[in-house]
Amino acid sequence: MLGVCLPGRAVAQRVTAQWGVQAIPAFTETNVVPGGRSLGELRVVQPTVMLHAVAFGDRLRLIGTVDFEKYTIPHGELSPGSWGESFEDRRHPHTLVHELMLVGGGRRLFAAAGKGFVPFGTDDPMSRPTVRFPVNHHLSQILERAVLLAGVRIGPALLEGALFNGDEPVSPGSWPAWDRFGDSWSTRLTVTPLEGLEVQGSYARVNSPEDRGGAAPADRKVSASARWERGRWYGELEWARTATADGAFIFHSVLAEGAVTLGKNRPYVRLERSDRPEEERLFSSRFRTRRPLFDNSILGITRWTVLTGGSALDMRWRTLRYTPFVEASWIGIARVGGGVFDPRVFFGRTRGVALTLGVRLATGMRMPRMGRYGGWPSEVTGRMDMPMPAGAEE
């Protein structure tokens, strides 16, 4: 942390900043791959640089995150079940400017503007224990949008509302379509009835997320969750529903995850059942779909049941935090309703496994709970690698 005192009213104009850097070299192998084969890949995922700064008695805040996946995983990260932004069974790289938000106000009233997270759903998976992203990433979060939001806090309740552009990024280097700003909106109510417990419900109408020109159907999204984090314990239960094309296609998700810190060791588990759309794959890559869409190209819906368990060991060398981890996933795939997409034919199986070995490398501030702009510094107490109880890092 660094502090800079400007001339004049030193206390009121003090500028305080925190920075952090992190990356995760990881090897993943799975037998849930298009064509019924196995595949293993070594990649550097989630390489980010973070900067958080405050001024004027914490009334003005700058929140920035640069994500270098444009360079480390330009063709995505091997991840069965992941989808979105024309990637299938690979997690897409995030945009270079992942988050750049200016926040003004105090604990009761605040407003924020920039490129960042829409007040909808649950936390970005990067700030949660499991390295593998959940299948429901595009059902439970809305990110990397040009967003204008405001919030009011009354007692244990926080109400947020936002306007933003509906289009998703079309490449890791793309910016939001500014002429579409305000065509979508969201609202979220978060209540903390007791210490450590957080409950939220949110709704969003996202106009034409799959087509930058605005010609695709709108999504109507609902999310509800309960989150517990206190001492060495962490847990979350969430539900999400997305209806597209006036309800012609409906996608559901239920997820439960938890972790406990035992000294320097941190075992964790996640169970998820989520739907995803199946679209026509490109001939040049079975992991990609066509963009822009010529029409509504959903060929069917699959339901993914994924049980992931892992364990991480928090270590430190001087200012470097390094956390070796191992994760294993059992994966089940089922076809929901009609459609021509058959997972048994496409993947050669309806059950499979995935294994990931890697190490989290980080220094400086820990990964915050991205998209929580309603207070400072409480919203930066979330940890990418989960906080250890006091004294455990010594």
pLDDT of residue 356: 98
As given in the structure block, the two tokens for residue 6 are 């400007």
Instruction: Return the number of other C-beta atoms located less than 10 Å from residue 220's C-beta.
Output: 16
pLDDT of residue 293: 62
Q: Which of 89, 86, 147 is nearest to 116 (CA)?
A: 147
**pTM: predicted TM-score of the whole model, two decimal places:** 0.90
Helix (H, G, I), strand (E, B) or coil at 225: strand
Buried/exposed code over 138-160 (b: 16+ C-beta within 10 A; e: otherwise): bbbbbbbbbbebbbebeeeebbb
Q: Which of 137, 159, 140, 141 is nearest to 150 (CA)?
A: 159
As given in the structure block, the two tokens for residue 257 are 């995850």
With a CB cutoff of 8 Å and minimum separation 6, the contacts of 149 are 111, 112, 113, 118, 119, 160, 161, 162, 163, 373
Residue 269 lies in a domain: no
Q: Using the structure block, give the residue that is written with the tokens 């009213």.
A: 9
Residue 37 lies in a domain: no
Q: Are 40 and 29 in contact (CB under 8 A)?
A: yes
Instruction: Answer positive or negative: Cα dihedral of 381, 387, 389, 394.
Output: negative
Residue 225 lies in a domain: yes
Residue 91 lies in a domain: yes
Residue 216 lies in a domain: yes
pLDDT of residue 381: 34
**DSSP letters along 125-162, please?**
GGGSS-SSPPTTHHHH---SEEEEEEEEEETTEEEEEE
pLDDT tens across the length of the chain (394 residues): 444 444 444 444 688 999 999 999 999 999 999 998 999 999 999 999 999 999 988 889 999 999 999 999 999 999 999 999 999 999 999 999 999 999 999 889 999 999 999 999 999 999 999 999 999 999 999 999 999 999 999 999 999 999 999 999 999 999 999 999 999 999 999 999 999 999 999 999 999 998 888 888 899 999 999 999 999 999 999 999 999 988 889 999 999 999 999 999 999 999 999 999 998 888 788 898 876 665 567 889 999 999 999 999 999 999 999 999 999 999 999 999 878 899 999 999 999 999 999 999 999 998 888 888 876 444 433 343 444 443 344 3
Residue 272 lies in a domain: no
Domain count of the fold of the chain: 1
Residue 329 lies in a domain: no
Supply the range of the domain harboring residue 143.
2-23+45-261+281-298+368-380
pLDDT of residue 295: 54
Q: Which residues pair with 43 in a beta bridge?
A: 26
Distances (CA, A) of 203 to 47, 84, 200, 278, 327: 30, 20, 10, 24, 32
**CA-to-CA distance for 336 and 293, rounded, in angstroms?**
22
Q: Are 32 and 379 in contact (CB under 8 A)?
A: no
Residue 93 lies in a domain: yes
pLDDT of residue 383: 41
pLDDT of residue 343: 94
